[in-house]
Amino acid sequence: MSRAIKMEDLSVVIKGKDVLKNINLSLDKGIFLGIVGPNGGGKTTLVRTVLGLLRPTTGTVSVFGRSPESLLTEDGAFGYLPQQQNIDPNFPATALDIALMGRYRSAGALRWPGKKDREKAVQALSIMGVEELKDSQYSQLSGGQQQRISIARALAGDPKILILDEPSTGIDVVGQEDFYHLLKGLQKKMNLTILMVSHDIGTVTTYVDEIACLNINLYYHGNPLGALNEKVLTSLYGKNVDVLMHTDVCDKCERLRK
Ligand SMILES: Nc1ncnc2c1ncn2[C@@H]1O[C@H](COP(=O)(O)OP(=O)(O)OP(=O)(O)O)[C@@H](O)[C@H]1O
Ligand SMILES: [Mg+2]
């Protein structure tokens, strides 16, 4: 069985600076992986190598046993929510138009959306709880509503791998818990492999199957609870770990020790 993702000795150097160093990471199909680490730790860079948007300087990455570049143009391989979205806020488009963008994949495939595309886009909006906004102008919606619609766009193409870079930004706390539940449900129902970058280490560990702790090097990959110890957290956050240890992460560590 080919793995969903396999990285071997992957390094990325940008402008002479090590951004990722000797990453070895294997992920089975159908796993929900959380990626955590400090700002500038290389999380976005890592997911961009998986997507085939950035080539590793040395080492390799394969997705379902193939090169990411070869999958990038394939229908339904990846659903991607970038950290920074390049939707012009003044672009005149409805929520449905945005979700429909998730149905166009291969470069140059200019075609009118068909009935099935519309159905899938509406379905994705409905999964995200924003179906009733489908005819609203995207530019006039709130940040959180826009975020849900962008996630719907990532889902609309029936991806095999869903990659979400800080997806809960702008979503309220109650909505966040619902959202993680929802992802968990989708993972099972659609046999999705999910990569989710998040800063919310406390909450993420509750939902994901595995966690990767990244700060240029990969300090930990495995069971989420195993990441909640001072040694791993210090390698990520240095002395600032004290701040983290006084939050709910700390409660989890306590429970773990018992
Ligand atoms: N195109 C680029 N040009 C120059 N430096 C870059 C570029 N892309 C990434 N970097 C550098 O690589 C490092 C890692 O960036 P990356 O965006 O992967 O971090 P991150 O873990 O996603 O951070 P954050 O939590 O803030 O999103 C940073 O120091 C960044 O400045
Ligand atoms: Mg990032």
**Environment of ion ligand 2 (residues, CB < 5 A):** 43-44, 83
Q: What is the dihedral of CA 150, 99, 127, 69, to 10 degrees?
A: -70
Distance, CA of 112 to CA of 253 (rounded, Å): 53
**CA of residue 83 to ligand 2 center, whole Å:** 6
Q: Shortest CA distance to 79 belongs to which of 127, 10, 36, 19? A: 127
* 41 pocket-lining for ligand 1 (C-beta < 6 Å): yes
Q: 47 or 235: whose pLDDT is higher?
A: 47
pLDDT at 91 (0 to 100): 79
pLDDT in tens, 177-196: 888 888 898 899 888 999 99
pLDDT at 247 (0 to 100): 60
Which residue's structure tokens are 């195993």? 226
pLDDT at 181 (0 to 100): 86
What count of Cα atoms within 13 Å lies in the side-chain half-sphere of residue 204?
26
* 224 pocket-lining for ligand 1 (C-beta < 6 Å): no
**CATH number belonging to domain 1-77+159-223:** 3.40.50.300
> How long a stretch of residues is the chain?
258
pLDDT at 225 (0 to 100): 87
**Closest ligand 1 atom to the C-alpha of 199?**
25
Q: Is 157 left (phi over 0), alpha (psi -120 to 50) or beta?
A: alpha
pTM: 0.90
Judged on CB neighbours under 10 Å (0-12, 13-18, 19+), 191 is: exposed
Distance, CA of 45 to CA of 61 (rounded, Å): 13
pLDDT in tens, 2-22: 699 999 999 999 999 999 999
pLDDT at 189 (0 to 100): 86
Considering only CA atoms, which residue is closest to atom 10 of ligand 1?
A: 14
Ordered by start, the domain boundaries in the chain are: 1-77+159-223, 89-158
pLDDT at 106 (0 to 100): 45
